[in-house]
Amino acid sequence: MTTEVQEKKVDVRNGILAGKKGVILGIANKWSIAWGIANSLKEAGAELTFTYQERLKDRVDKLAEELDVKNTVECDVTSDEQITNAFKTISDLYNGKIDFVIHSLAFAKKDELEGRYVDTSRDGYILAQDISAFSLAAVAKAAEPLFEANGGGSIITLTYLGGERVVKNYNVMGVAKAALECSVKYLANDLGPKKIRVNAISAGPIKTLASSAISGIQTMISQIADVSPLRKNTETEEVGDTALFLASDLSRGITGELIHVDAGFHILGATN
Ligand SMILES: NC(=O)c1ccc[n+]([C@@H]2O[C@H](COP(=O)([O-])OP(=O)(O)OC[C@H]3O[C@@H](n4cnc5c(N)ncnc54)[C@H](O)[C@@H]3O)[C@@H](O)[C@H]2O)c1
């Protein structure tokens, strides 16, 4: 990509989110989709707070510093108490008002991400649903008063095609993503009267810490580069810019929507 094109892209982002404040859940490292989103939103002028799981605190603090993000807050979504406390802290930081929440997190046991879905364990199923799907509703509820005081806002979550169709080895996470995508619609309907929009981005496969737990992910990534309509893989920067659009007023008429950012792969009926 030429410098000229790169500069143009940055220009396009400039100022779109000036004065907007929000929270990003799900940064683990520089490969995280949430990190790509953080970069886009920051370049667009947003003020950000990152949340982290305790074991990732040092890493997330370092990344926050790099992007000149002042605040990081602990939030493990398996704990109601941590969600409540995190949003209490965020409320104090931003005078009780926020414009957006980015929910970019999921978890399933590695041994549930290979073989047959029919062999999924009860506790593996519950864990995947709790962290990857229920957490969106829990976070939306905690954020609701901050959005309401703001006169509305935008919630964005991350999903994958395996929630709509069978993708080898995605198994229990596919079922969790289906629940997440349906949750987006129910939340959009509940919160719409308060001008709180809820949307999902369905990203194409990207090599990250979470995706490396899925058996065969690398092969899938290289196949997609060959067959997707755009003949490429998805980049976190592309997901970041779509999140920017969904967090901004440019998308004010959109809620309950699922936007695929996957080089067009989802439209294919067959890949040969
Ligand atoms: N990488 C891909 O191919 C891909 C494609 C489509 C969608 N997604 C989705 O994007 C989102 C981000 O994943 P990623 O690929 O960037 O991986 P990642 O490993 O960088 O991020 C996953 C994040 O989930 C967080 N997390 C896990 N359990 C948590 C808990 N109990 N409480 C709070 N946070 C918790 C981790 O701390 C981590 O920051 C996930 O929802 C994932 O399913 C990923």
Name the residue ranges covered by the structural domains of the chain: 3-264
The question of whether 125 is a catalytic residue gets the answer no
- Cβ contact 187:138 at 8 Å: no
Specify the pLDDT at position 80.
98
The question of whether 186 is a catalytic residue gets the answer no
Tell how far the Cα of 210 is from the centroid of ligand 1, in angstroms: 5
Please return the burial class of 24, using the count of CB atoms within 10 Å of its CB with bins 0-12, 13-18 and 19+: buried
Ligand 1 near 154 CB (within 6 A)? no
pTM: 0.96
Kindly list the averaged pLDDT for each block of 10 residues, start to end, along the chain of length 272: 55 90 98 98 98 98 98 98 98 98 98 96 98 98 98 98 96 98 98 98 96 90 95 97 98 98 95 64
Residue 228 CA: distances (Å) to CA of 33, 187, 204, 215? 20, 31, 10, 21
Specify the pLDDT at position 12.
82
Q: Helix or strand or coil: residue 76?
A: coil
- DSSP bridge pairs for 158: 201
Specify the pLDDT at position 121.
98
Tell how far the Cα of 131 is from the centroid of ligand 1, in angstroms: 10
Instruction: Out of 52, 94, 125, 170, pick the active-site residue.
Output: 170
| Rounded-to-integer distance, Cα 245 and Cα 204, Å | 18
Ligand 1 near 174 CB (within 6 A)? no
Specify the pLDDT at position 176.
98
Ligand 1 near 30 CB (within 6 A)? no
Residue 53, sorted as left (phi over 0), alpha (psi -120 to 50) or beta, turns out to be beta
Range list of H helices, 67-215: 80-93, 122-129, 135-150, 171-191
Residue entry with tokens 């829990």: 138
The CATH architecture that domain 3-264 belongs to is 3-Layer(aba) Sandwich (3.40)
> What residues have CB less than 8 Å from 124, skipping those under 6 apart?
108, 109, 111, 112, 172
Q: Containing H/E element for 52?
A: strand 47-52
